[in-house]
Amino acid sequence: MSEDKTPRYEDKIIEGYEYDGITEYDNPCPGWLMYIFYFTALLAIFFVGYHFGSHSKDELLEAYTIKLKEAQTETEASESTQQPKISESELLALLQDPAALAEGGEIFGELCALCHGESGEGMIGPNLIDNYWLHGKGKISDIAVSIRSGIPDNGMAAWADRIPEQQILHTAAYIKSIQGTVVEDAKEPDGELVEE
State the alpha helices, DSSP H only, in 29-187: 31-49, 57-82, 88-93, 98-107, 113-116, 140-149, 165-177
Q: What are phi and psi of 11, to 5 degrees?
A: -75, -15
Q: Find out whether 123 and 183 touch, Cβ atoms under 8 Å.
A: no
Q: Which residues pair with 23 in a beta bridge?
A: 18
Average pLDDT of the segment spanning 123-132: 83
CA distance 89 to 148: 19
Task: Please tell me whether residues 63 and 113 are part of one structural domain.
Answer: no
42: pLDDT strictly greater than 70: yes
**Residue at 41 is within a domain:** yes
Tell whether 97 is covered by a domain: yes
Q: Does 185 fall in a domain? A: yes
Same domain (yes/no): 80, 103: no
**CATH code assigned at 172:** 1.10.760.10
Q: Are residues 61 and 123 in the same domain?
A: no
| In a shared domain, residues 159 and 178 | yes
When divided into structural domains, the chain yields a total of 3
Q: When comparing pLDDT for 30 and 87, which is higher?
A: 30
On average, the pLDDT of the chain sits at: 79
**Structural domain for 78, as ranges:** 57-84
Core vs surface per residue 63-96: b (16+ CB within 10 A) or e: eeeeeeeeeeeeeeeeeeeeeeeeeeeebeebee
State the sign of the Cα–Cα–Cα–Cα dihedral 67, 72, 75, 76: negative
